Structure 1
Amino acid sequence: MDLDAYVIAHRHEWERLEVLTRSRRLTGAEGDELVDRYQQVATHLSVVRTSAPDPQLVAYLSAILSRARNRSVGTRVTSWRNVVRYFTEVFPAALYRLRWWWLGTMAANVVVIAVMMLWLLEHPNAEQTLMSREAVDSLVNHDFADYYSNYAASEFALQVWINNAWVAALCLALGVLGVPVIYLLFTNIANVAVIGAIMTRHDHAMEFWGLLLPHGLLELTAVFVAAGVGLKLFWSWIEPGAQTRTQALAQNGRTAATVALGLVVVLMISGAIEGFVTPSGLPTWARLAIGIAAEVVFFTYVFTLGRNAYARGQTGDIDASLLEDRVATAS
């Protein structure tokens, strides 16, 4: 990299940020500019450190950023416009762009659950190798139903949300490795298949599905989304397409972060349903209707808002202005 050319190209931005950090009072617009320029200069510092680590320039930019970071505290109120834009454009567009990955993951897991349950129902002796007779009786008669009502609704909803958020986070974080995601999915669906087969064999199928589906539809969908996005991250370094592996990993990694933030809210909703609706005294048809409605809303959200945002060019990636710079070079 031609460091002199890079300095000439960006010095005015550094000087402007320095001016903002030294101003005694900032207007609202200047506060927003301070934060924006902080992000830009942080990118510049990263480029310099990577391509031409000049000690004096690194120290200069680090000092400016330190002052800007301290000054920015309290200078910018989170814009509700950005929050609304995230949930109406960025997040749904990311889900829509990666739809085939998580829809494929969902379909594959549903098939595996069905095959496992059918096999277990046709091989009753397998049940004895998985659980003792006493454990099966306890599961069927009270353990499964008691699981949803042993704790206060708010406490249980929080516990469920934390657990499912952790599973989704693991799928995204370990996605680049591929195999751990498949293992996590198999462990998750194997539990569903085994318990479902046992409950069905003992004539408690209605109870099983009536307690699982109200929250499970949206909850499992969120896990499948996380797994599908994680597997896309894995595939991006196997087959990066027209991009370099670094570019493909960077883009899909940023999109994975976008999806992770949105899934926190999706899992919060499913946790609330599991904590307050699943163990409620509502009839089974009403609980199922709530679960199906939540799932329909999610798919409508993806295939209306997401499709429209994607058609307008939104991909779920961060703004182009915050991406890495094209380094200036001298001719």
Structure 2
Amino acid sequence: MREEKFINDNSYIWSNLESLLDKLKSKKLKSLSKSELDSFITSYRIVCSHLSYSKTFFGESKTTEYLNSLASSAHSHIYSTKSSGFKKIFSFYIKGFPELLKDNTSYMILSTALFMVGVIFSFIITILNSDNAPAFIPPELIEGIKTLKSGRSAWDSATQSASIFTNNIGVGLRAFALGITLGLGTTYILIFNGFILGSAAGLALNYNVFFIFWSLILPHGVLELFCIFVCGAAGLIIGKSIINPGVYSRKDSLIKGGKTAVYLACGTIPLFIVAGIIEGYFTPSEVSVEAKLIFSLLSFILLSLYLALPFIRRKKYN
């Protein structure tokens, strides 16, 4: 093909890309409409193809120089447009994390169910006979529940908050990391921690301090338990990716599942921190039992609204 014909046949594509580049001089790539963005990407790919053709048949001609400049300008907009690290993190926690949870609802349900199996079993065993409690919970916790009506001992908020955070996130991380044991370790962590909560609740019921007990658990527990369920779901994803890789090789399946699991586990970090602060400062305060239970309900409502964001967006745009 002669150079003149090459120019005549394709100049409208080059002009289109050039006009879009002019528009981007004062704006960002995301400012383009969907149709403009599609046109920009398509035109860029065609221009790259034309540049290759021009280099081959027309050498270092003015046409080649022009196409090289055009392609370079478009390339810089496509591959150099990066959002700040803070913006990416913020976007993940506001949008990405809830959507990731929605996509992995089945694992969340299974994780929660395993925990609740432990809760229900130990609760029933304990309310039938309080002497069964030591099989599930340590002696110091049993004594603590017995003396709830008489008040609590002095509480170092700063120290306790740090200790609580470390313990809670440790449970979550173990539930996540033990997914590598084909999910068996994750299952154990979930059921074992369910045993502790269920038996403690059963003992509180037997000692007539049921509502006091929950007022000390739920303010932080709404977020804390949710985070443990998420980390459990992450561990189960890893286990499933090893046991049933599907169309992928076992290695590729583990990499794919592991990436999802890591994002899920990371998504719980801010919530774990907030739960630790609440447990360290608000839970041991002199606020009434009723106020603490109301606070817990509000926490649950806010968490539910946060998790509902992907469904709300989907309904809005459908």
Give the alignment of 1:161-180 within 5 angstroms. 161-177=165-181, 178-180=183-185
Residues 212-221 or 282-291, more deviating: 282-291
Which residue in the other structure is 2:98 paired with?
92
2:257 paired with 1:256: no
Structure 1 runs (4+) greater than 6 angstroms displaced: 128-135
Which residue in the other structure is 2:13 paired with?
none
Verify the 8 A CA contact 1:93 1:307 in the aligned structure 2: no
Shift in CA distance, 288/129, structure 1 to aligned 2, threshold 3 Å? closer
Give the alignment of 1:1-331 within 5 angstroms. 78-127=84-133, 136=142, 139-142=145-148, 146=152, 150-177=154-181, 178-305=183-310, 308=313
Which residue in the other structure is 1:61 paired with?
none
Shift in CA distance, 222/137, structure 1 to aligned 2, threshold 3 Å? closer
Residues 198-207 or 127-136, more deviating: 127-136
Unaligned runs of 5+ in 1: 1-75, 313-331
Matched residues in 1 for 2:201 and 2:210: separation? 7
Q: Give the counterpart letter for 1:153 in structure 2.
A: S
Structure 1 vs Structure 2 CA RMSD: 3.3
Shift in CA distance, 109/84, structure 1 to aligned 2, threshold 3 Å? same
Verify the 8 A CA contact 2:108 2:229 in the aligned structure 1: yes
Matched residues in 1 for 2:224 and 2:172: separation? 10
Q: Give the counterpart letter for 1:284 in structure 2.
A: V
The Cα of 1:130 is off from its aligned counterpart by 7.0
Which residue in the other structure is 2:10 paired with?
none
Which residue in the other structure is 1:7 paired with?
none
Matched residues in 2 for 1:176 and 1:273: separation? 32
Calculate the TM-score normalised by the size of structure 1: 0.62
Structure whose CA Rg is larger: 2
Matched residues in 1 for 2:274 and 2:253: separation? 32
Q: Give the counterpart letter for 1:164 in structure 2.
A: N
Shift in CA distance, 111/182, structure 1 to aligned 2, threshold 3 Å? closer
Q: Give the counterpart letter for 2:191 in structure 1.
A: F
Shift in CA distance, 135/235, structure 1 to aligned 2, threshold 3 Å? closer
Q: Summarize deviations over 1:276-329 as a string: whole Å, max 9, x none.
A: 2211222222212222222222232222147748x99xxxxxxxxxxxxxxxxx
Q: Secondary structure at the match of 1:95?
A: helix
Verify the 8 A CA contact 2:126 2:199 in the aligned structure 1: yes
The Cα of 1:82 is off from its aligned counterpart by 1.5
Matched residues in 2 for 1:244 and 1:144: separation? 60
Matched residues in 1 for 2:137 and 2:242: separation? 41
Verify the 8 A CA contact 1:95 1:306 in the aligned structure 2: no
Shift in CA distance, 185/111, structure 1 to aligned 2, threshold 3 Å? closer
User: How many pairs does the alignment contain?
Assistant: 236
Matched residues in 2 for 1:255 and 1:128: separation? 38
Greater RCO (Cα-Cα under 8 Å, separation 6 or more): 1
Shift in CA distance, 265/133, structure 1 to aligned 2, threshold 3 Å? closer
Matched residues in 2 for 1:162 and 1:137: separation? 23
Q: Give the counterpart letter for 2:290 in structure 1.
A: W
Verify the 8 A CA contact 2:180 2:235 in the aligned structure 1: yes
Residues 161-170 or 124-133, more deviating: 124-133
Q: Summarize deviations over 1:8-32 as a string: whole Å, max 9, x none.
A: xxxxxxxxxxxxxxxxxxxxxxxxx
The Cα of 1:125 is off from its aligned counterpart by 4.4
Q: Secondary structure at the match of 2:247?
A: coil
Matched residues in 2 for 1:105 and 1:257: separation? 16
